Homo-oligomer: A and B are copies of this chain.
Amino acid sequence: MSKYEKTCLIRGDGGRAIRGILDRIGDKWTVLVVATLHGGRMRFGELLTRIPGVSQRMLTRTLRHLERDGLVGRTVYAEVPPRVEYELTDSGRTLVEPAVMLAEWAIENNPGIEASQKDYDERGQGDSSP
């Protein structure tokens, strides 16, 4: 029995666990937030700046979800100009590793995948006309 079959992604739960995680990190911003936060604790505005394209709303949502999951810690400073800082929890940090695995795979395979897509798309058009 291989290592894969042991873990095998789908267990008795029909893949509930893995699906739960994928629902979480599969959304548009979670991974980028975690990745950015991996650089260290930082405040809301900084995240907003560092993550290109994210909206306030989405950043807030994502952070709340991560907080709820116990992957990100939130610290509010009772100051006149409000300051809130976020940081990965220990749990959150453990997520970075598998995420990096995936990222490495992604970076390595993206060219091939895009090529394959292009190939696939072109083939679909030019096969019926001689």
Bitwise interface map of A from 88 to 104 toward B, beta carbon under 8 Å scored 1, else 0: 00010011111111111
Interface assignment of A49: CB less than 8 Å from any CB of chain B:
no
Q: Is the interface of A mostly helix, strand, loop or mixed?
A: helix
A113 lies within 8 A of B69 (CB): yes
Q: Which of A1-55 contact B (CB under 8 A)?
A: 3-5, 7-11, 14-15, 17-22, 25-28, 31-32, 35-36, 38-39, 52-53
Residues of B contacting A110 with CB < 8 Å? 17, 20-21
What are the 8 tightest A-B residue pairs by CB atom distance, in nearest-first order?
A26-B26, A70-B116, A9-B35, A21-B106, A98-B101, A68-B120, A98-B105, A17-B110
Interface positions of A (Cβ within 8 A of B): 3-5, 7-11, 14-15, 17-22, 25-28, 31-32, 35-36, 38-39, 52-53, 67-71, 91, 94-107, 109-110, 112-113, 115-117, 119-121
